[in-house]
């Protein structure tokens, strides 16, 4: 685990447009940070988050998110070698069937 993660320096403020980035706590807000970086970040930023929080912690947070866009979900599934069925957001999507309207 990297000893320090400086949100305002290491990550782009545009990922956190709805919160005060100077007041963001890396321990208390880890779900938000991980979610935003995986959906909006670069490969280097994703690797920095994995190095800081650890593979197990990051994968657990991602598995328990209510929503991930399909591209991010597939990327995370392949990156960590986790089946899609292990993700809460995948299960929720399967439960909410979309019907065709004619």
> 93 φ, ψ to 5°?
-65, -35
Structure tokens at 72: 């991010």
**What pLDDT is recorded for position 80?**
95
**What pLDDT is recorded for position 40?**
92
Locus of tokens 């986790």: 82
CA distance 38 to 42: 8
**What pLDDT is recorded for position 81?**
95
This prediction has a pTM of: 0.81
**What pLDDT is recorded for position 2?**
45
For the chain, 102 residues long, give each residue's pLDDT as a single digit of tens: 444 566 656 778 888 888 888 888 888 889 999 999 999 999 999 999 999 999 999 999 999 999 999 999 999 999 999 998 899 888 777 656 666 666
């Amino acid at each position: 685990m990297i000893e320090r993660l400086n949100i305002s320096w290491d990550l782009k403020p545009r990922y956190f447009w709805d919160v005060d980035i100077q007041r963001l706590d890396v321990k208390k807000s880890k779900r938000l940070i991980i979610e935003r970086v995986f959906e909006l970040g670069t490969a280097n930023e994703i690797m920095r988050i994995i190095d800081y929080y650890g593979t197990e912690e990051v994968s657990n947070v991602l598995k328990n998110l209510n929503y991930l866009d399909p591209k991010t979900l597939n990327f995370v599934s392949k990156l960590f070698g986790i089946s899609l069925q292990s993700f809460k957001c995948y299960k929720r999507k399967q439960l909410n069937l979309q019907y065709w309207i004619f």
